[in-house]
Structure 1
Amino acid sequence: MNFILFRVHSTWVTLLVAVLMTTLAKSANAETTAQTLQSPSPTVNNSRSIIDNLSPNPNPLLFPTKPEEVRIQGTVPLSLAQALELARRNNPTLQASQFQVERSRSALREAQAALLPNANVSGNLANSGSNLFTGGSTQSSTAFNGQAQVNYNLYTSGNRQANIRSSEEQVRIDELNLENQSLVVGLNVATQYYNLQGADEQVRINRSAVENAQASLRDTQARLQAGVGTQFDVLQAQVNLANAQQQLTNSIANQQIARRQFGTLLNLPQSVDITAADPVQLAGLWQQTLEQTIVQAFQNRPELPQFLAQRNQAEQQRRQALSQLGPQLGVTGTYNFRDIYNDAISVVDGYSVGLQSSLTLFDGGAARARAAQSRANIAIAETQFANQRDQIRFDVEQFYFQLQSNLENVQTSTLALSQAREALQIARLRFQAGVGTQTEVIAAENDLTRAEGNRVTAILDYNRALASLQRSVTSRATR
């Protein structure tokens, strides 16, 4: 009887030692993982070469035609700073906005050309002849006619200046639109980068959950072989492992989707895949109060001056339309000359200088109708300005409150993660000592998985809110 008790106690001691060694190893790995989440971003020595190698094909109309051209050849780790630089260089939306700015600047130069006179020359060389029936011969002559003309509009009732100022406002509108698109692309890149980090972390967490489930299955199988466990505990552990493996499979698929979505946003080459190089950590703290943040947003957001520029443009278009009813005065100078070859007369020339004026007496109300349309555009721009002002305040308040709540969630989830690790250790010790159940161990493992996921989610939600707030309160001095 004593021999049997000695064997039972020896088995319990062996199992307890194994459980303690496994728990300590997992605790050390968990602490290493936690330190990795808070470690600073690694230094990338070849940042410039990486960015240069990720340039898309310069021909925007080219597309792959062979399977090997779209096959992924490698995965490149990118930091958030590198991703932002790639987006500013490769993003098609920013490129299209830049082309719009260049187009409006060319239109401004066209409008400014009206400040200078127009000069043109023309010439005509012709040969003509006639039959002389009396003599039976043909008489022909060659003549050259030339003309030089200069025109200049002295007075246009404000049409010329209104057209130039309208073009200037269009340049301003397109420049502000380019600035706004740059901010939007930057926010999209930051958001997608955090999504990619979340997908990577979810794969890591689910792999850890699979490892925990495998360890629990080994423990239950060992207990069954030692005669102190049940087949029911083994089946529970097997089901828990299968569920963890399924979640890992889904998270790997989501990771691949996030990578391809981010590559599309950066307009990367077809054969390159990317992964997040930065660790998951808080991107920074927002020091300003809510009131200071709202005022700064009103001062710096490009949308508000863009609507003001649209209002000013509509005002210039109104003046341009009414100028058609005013007098128009211009000066013109012409020089003509004619030379008929093979005759006894030299070149015949002449000139003329004169003033031209016009006044529209009645146009059926077309000019005033165009002016009324411009006045309506002015009212629309003012209404949009007020609406955008209210939207900016709401955006700032929304992201500010989200930032504060997510920061609290980070602190809460960090504490919960530490408690979940401790709870799992206790549940395994209780189970090995025979005072707990396998159900408690599985529940503790699932709680740990959720706690790790909640912490990562809280950090990334905080970073997303911070990126949105920074986009809402943008400072031109830092761009």
Structure 2
Amino acid sequence: MFRKTLLIFIAAHAVAVRADENHGRGQRLDLTLGKAVRMALQKNFSITAQKFDPKISRQREMASEGRFDPAFALSYSTGDSVIADTFIRGATTNAGAQFGARSIVQSDVWSTGVSGVTVWGLGYDAGFNTSALGGASNNLATNWTSEMSFSLRQPLLRGAGPEVNLADVRIARNNVTISEWTVRQQVMTVITQVINVYNDLQFAHENLAVARRSQGLAKQLLRDNIKRVEIGVKTPLDVTTAQAEVAAREAALITATRAVKDQENFLKQLITADMMLLIRTSVSIAPPPSSALTPNVVAGIRNALESRPDYQQAKLDIANRNIVVRVTKNAELPRLDLQASLSLLGLADDFGTSAQRIADRDRSSWSLGAIFSIPLGNRESRGGHGAAKLSAAQALVRLQQLEQQIIVLVDNAAGLVFTTQQLTVANREARRLAKESLAAGEARLVAGTGTTFEVLQLQKQLADAETAELRAIADYNKAVAKYRLETGTTLRVHGVKIE
């Protein structure tokens, strides 16, 4: 009966293993940690999406620079009007025309010009227009009027100078850099995620091997106890106890197998844009390289303040806010603008002559003046400037807070590296002692002084110690990755350059 029971347990395990193998059947992806990182850099959705931000910011920068592009205008209009001949200067009438007759007058107007503003705030407008007034009825003569005009307007106080007029451009340029730092942050985060999941997958594989060894030990003990019962040195209770433990370890094996599949999916999600890969492909990984690191907290903080994207972004945000402070400070000034204009006029019976008279400056006019205005109370400008100063001060406090957080994060990350190093050593020793204890317990069982329960407990302790050691190794590698993330050195360590 005992042999029959053993066969049932072995058969059940074989069915579970075959089911697991069938589930994982399909293509196979062989990975190293370096290859996984490279695949993530090429295909990770979050990185791909984040890379749009700098492109969007550059387009916005170009849009802000477009304020200084000159505008070219060209227009033409035509029309007819009916008026009495007696009111038309220069009109001639046919013989026999009656007083009070009316004529159709046609007008055509062409105009073109260029206008814009410079970085100094100087507004300019240069234009040329010509009009033809005349008609065929009653021999109405055609009069051509051409005009070339120039006008300038230069702010002297409010709105004067590149600092004010280039503010939006400089903010847009800073925003481009901010978006580039955001991409770096996303890449660093994804690399760290890949390292973490890769180590978790390696742990899951090794933990599965531990579960299989543990189940193998329980099955071997079950077989031995069946033989011992048959020769009368053990009771059926020892067999039942071993059977129960085999069943429990079968459940642990199923859980460990599922953990491998889950971690594979997490890794595939990070390194591919092909969602069907989650279903079709199994992953085989090489052990991650050893991450030997002795953290230096002071150097780590210095690196973090130089290389962390969030810190650089915070400094650029302060720069943007200071630009706004200067712009709003300028807005508090009164408006004092100088204006100048020049107009050249040409009148003739044909276009060529009217244009020539412009060149000859037969008729010209000019003006020069100033415009001064100031809002009474000026609360809008004063309020805007006050809010901008407070916003800049707030951003500075947040930068100081971030500096404090970075110091804490780097110190904690360094401490985690040291802690996981110590845990790895301690758990390795615990695993060695647990193995020796199991050997001693098995010897006592053979000698008749030990019990099945004791051996099963020692087997579990060994499995737990092996798992703890493997977990500590994975946690150490993850702690190193976290330290590099917190110090902003992830890209440099992995040789990643972002274009």
Decide which moves more: 259-268 or 168-177.
259-268
CA distance in 1, matches of 2:340, 2:33: 62
1:422/1:268 CA distance change after superposition, 3 Å: farther
- Offset at 1:360? 4.7
430-439 or 289-298, larger mean C-alpha shift = 289-298
Q: Which has the higher contact order (CA 8 A, sep 6+)?
A: 1
Larger mean CA deviation between 254-263 and 352-361 belongs to: 352-361
Alpha-carbon distance, 1:301 to partner? 2.1
Q: What pairs with 1:103-142 in structure 2 (closer than 5 Å)?
A: 103-114=56-67, 116=68, 118-126=70-78, 128=80, 141=106
CA distance in 1: counterparts of 2:345 and 2:40, whole angstroms: 62
- What is residue 151 of structure 1 aligned with on the other side? 116
1:330, 1:96 → 2: CA distance?
49
Q: Distance in 2 between matches of 1:267 and 1:336?
A: 69
2-structure distance, mates of 1:76, 1:427: 42
> How far apart are 1:426 and its partner, in Å?
2.8
Residues 261, 117 of structure 1: alpha-carbon distance in 2 compared, 3 angstrom cutoff: closer
Correspondence for 1:11: none
For residue 268 of structure 1, report the CA deviation from its aligned partner. Answer: 3.3
Find the residue that maps to 2:113 and give its secondary structure: strand
Are residues 309 and 449 of structure 1, via their aligned partners in 2, closer, same or farther at CA, if it must alter by over 3 Å? same
Shift in Å, 1:188: 2.0
Deviation, 1:402, is 1.5
Secondary structure in structure 2 of the residue aligned to 1:279: coil
Q: Which residue of 2 aligns with 1:289?
A: 296
Worse-matched range after superposition: 415-424 or 433-442: 415-424
Partner of 2:6: none
Q: Residue 460 and residue 360 in structure 1: after superposition, are their counterparts in 2 closer, same or farther (change >3 A)?
A: farther
1:431-454 alpha-carbon deviations (Å, 9 max, x no partner) = 223222111221121111111101
TM-superposed CA distance for 1:418, in Å, is: 2.5
* Unmatched 5+ stretches in structure 2: 1-23, 85-96, 123-154, 359-363
Which residue in the other structure is 2:305 paired with?
Answer: 298
1:194 Cα shift? 1.9
Query: Residue deviations 1:277-309, cap 9 Å, x none?
Result: 13156x322234333333333333232222111
**1:243 aligned partner:** 248
Map 1:29-48 to 2 at 5 A.
Answer: none
Cα contact 2:269–2:275 (8 A) shared by 1: no
- The residue that corresponds to 1:417 in the other structure is 431
1:362 to 337, 359, 375: 375
User: Secondary structure at 1:150's aligned position in 2?
Assistant: strand
3-state DSSP of counterpart to 1:148: strand
C-alpha spacing 1:401/1:266, structure 2 compared with 1 (3 Å): same
> What CA RMSD, in Å, does the superposition of the two structures yield over aligned residues?
3.5
Q: CA deviation at 1:130?
A: 6.3
Q: Which has the larger radius of gyration?
A: 2
Q: Deviations over 1:209-248 (max 9, x none)?
A: 2212111111111222233221011001101101101111
CA contact (8 A) 1:413 1:458 kept: yes
Q: Percent identity?
A: 19
CA drift at 1:468: 0.5
The alignment partner of 1:124 has SS state of: strand
Q: Could you say which residue in structure 1 is the equivalent of 2:266?
A: 261
SS in 1 for 2:375: coil
Equivalent in the alignment of 1:77: 30
Residues 220 and 238 (structure 1 numbering): CA distance in 2 closer, same or farther, change over 3 Å?
same
Gaps of 5+ in 1: 1-70
Distance 1:267 1:334 in 2: 67
- What is the aligned residue count? 403
Query: What is aligned with 2:477?
Result: 463
Of the three residues 178, 194, 197, the one matched with 2:199 is 194
Q: Out of 275, 294, 309, which is 2:316 matched to?
A: 309
Residue 397 of structure 2 corresponds to: 383
Q: Indicate which of 180, 183, 188 corresponds to 1:183.
A: 188
* Structure 2 length-normalised TM: 0.71
Describe the shift of the 1:310–1:353 C-alpha distance in structure 2 as closer, same or farther (beyond 3 A): farther
